[in-house]
Amino acid sequence: MLPVAAAPGDPVMSPFAPQAATAPKPHPATGDGAFADVARRATDAHQARKFEEAEALYREGLDRRPAWTEGRFGLGGALYELDRFSEARVAFRRVLVDVPESATGWTMAGLCSFRLKEYETALGEIQKGREIGLGDNSDLQAIANYHIAILLIRFGRFEVAYEALREFALRDRDSPGVVEAFGLAVLRLPYLPAEAPVEKREMILMAGRAGYQLARGLRSPATRRTFEVLVQRYPEEPNIRYAWGVFLLQDEPDAALTEFRRALSLDPGHVPAMCQMALQMIKEGRYQEALPTAELAAQTGSQNFVARNVLGRTLLELGETDRAIQELEAAAKLAPDSPQMYFHLARAYQRAGRTNEANEARVTFMKLDRAARDRTPSGEPRSPGE
């Protein structure tokens, strides 16, 4: 397995301390004694973290056998550890020419792109690796999920980022990097952790701890106190009011609605608060009352998949099936990895008598839902904007 340890002191690369990693296995012996010796020494140097020596040996082995894919992978890993990210990415992308379905190759290429500050490219590559599947490589899975989350935050896709971070909460991995990322997501601040304003750090960390506990589904007195202190400290922050409302929603829906209204009074364009208000009305069967709020949310946040989904669900319950399908299709395009988008879309297609499309949407839902369950423990709690 390729080494994935972070550069020392790099909080962005390593949200938690990864376990010791091993170098690639040498190419099987094929009668070429000189090549086999070079491959063995390259592996030994890599495992001993003598990366400059390993690089030289990998290059020597590749000169002898250019098709040595494991060696090219190892070369990429050694270059990565030496902070030579551009060269490392070239090596990983060359691996992908030979093995295009290498999830680890895509992920490591994406991590190189991240370190080169090519963030859109990084997100696409790391997501491709996760889509293919990283198997039982739990360290690299976690590092990939963390980078996906913080990149989504930077691009303002807070709801999707929250879902990615929730996997850490459900596994009780509350490293400082994860808590800080939660804080950025809760506060809807479009920064990488390393870019976050210094003057907001205390608020980010407090909001991150509250968001982490909310994601774990912890409804203890201690969690409530965390939120109460947060609200008392920052009473004029709409996203904190919103998060507090989400915490209250399960047991105190009236109090939660009050907090959502407070969030809207502080920020009239607060789309998540509108969505939660509409969702609560849907839950209570007050579809006609939900419609104006759902329409305003979708109008204000036309690129917000939750808002489009909520409007679609409202319209479906009111019998406006064609309009509902348009909104739900838009939601699915905005969040193609969200199982819930396809669940509601399948219902709408079925209601319209579009059986084949309904079946296709159900298949997509089951595939995405299975993948999500494979990544997280069972019994996931509800998250903001869901």
- The 8-class DSSP code of residue 195 comes to G
- The 8-class DSSP code of residue 149 comes to H
pLDDT at 133: 87
pLDDT band with cut points at 50, 70 and 90 for residue 273:
very high
- On whether the pTM is more than 0.85, the answer is no
pLDDT at 33: 84
Contacts 24+ apart (CB under 8 A), 289-294: 290/314, 291/315, 291/318
pLDDT at 134: 86
Mean pLDDT, all residues of the chain: 88
Is residue 18 pLDDT above 50, yes or no?
Answer: no
Enter the CATH code of domain 1-138.
1.25.40.10
The answer to whether 320 and 294 are in contact (CB under 8 A) is no
Is residue 102 pLDDT above 50, yes or no?
Answer: yes
pLDDT at 254: 94
pLDDT at 135: 82
Is residue 79 pLDDT above 80, yes or no?
Answer: yes
Cα separation, 242 vs 51, in Å, equals: 48
Mean pLDDT within 349-373 = 92
pLDDT at 375: 64
Mean pLDDT within 317-333 = 96
Mean pLDDT within 204-223 = 89
pLDDT at 220: 83
pLDDT at 110: 97
Per-residue burial over 270-283, b if 16 or more Cβ lie within 10 Å, else e, is: bbbbbbbbbbbbbe
- The 8-class DSSP code of residue 217 comes to T
CB neighbour list of residue 382: distance below 8 Å, 6 or more residues apart: 246, 249, 250
Cα separation, 308 vs 294, in Å, equals: 8
**Which tens digit of pLDDT belongs to each residue from 167-184?**
899 888 889 999 999 999
Is residue 15 pLDDT above 50, yes or no?
Answer: no
Conformation bin of residue 385: beta by default, left when phi > 0, alpha when psi is -120 to 50? left
Q: Which alpha helices (H) appear in the chain, and where do they start and end?
A: 33-47, 51-64, 69-81, 85-98, 103-115, 119-132, 138-154, 158-170, 176-187, 201-216, 221-233, 238-249, 253-266, 271-283, 287-300, 305-317, 321-334, 339-351, 355-375
Cα separation, 225 vs 351, in Å, equals: 45
Domains 1-138 and 298-386 alike in fold: yes
Chain position carrying tokens 């849907």: 282
Lowest mean pLDDT among 125-134, 240-249, 320-329, 369-378: 369-378
Whole-number percent of the chain with pLDDT over 70: 89
The answer to whether 77 and 46 are in contact (CB under 8 A) is yes
CATH level 2 (architecture), domain 298-386? Alpha Horseshoe (1.25)
Residue 385 identity: G
Lowest mean pLDDT among 113-117, 220-224, 379-383: 379-383
Delimit the domains of the chain by residue range.
Answer: 1-138, 156-252, 298-386
The interaxial angle of helices 33-47 and 51-64, nearest 10 deg, is: 160
Mean pLDDT within 109-133 = 95
pLDDT at 377: 54
Is residue 228 pLDDT above 60, yes or no?
Answer: yes
pLDDT band with cut points at 50, 70 and 90 for residue 2:
very low
End-to-end alpha carbon distance in the chain: 37
CB neighbour list of residue 107: distance below 8 Å, 6 or more residues apart: 125, 126, 129, 130, 134, 140, 143, 144
CA distances from 102 to 89, 158, 234, 371 (A): 14, 28, 46, 18
pLDDT at 6: 36
Is residue 136 pLDDT above 90, yes or no?
Answer: no
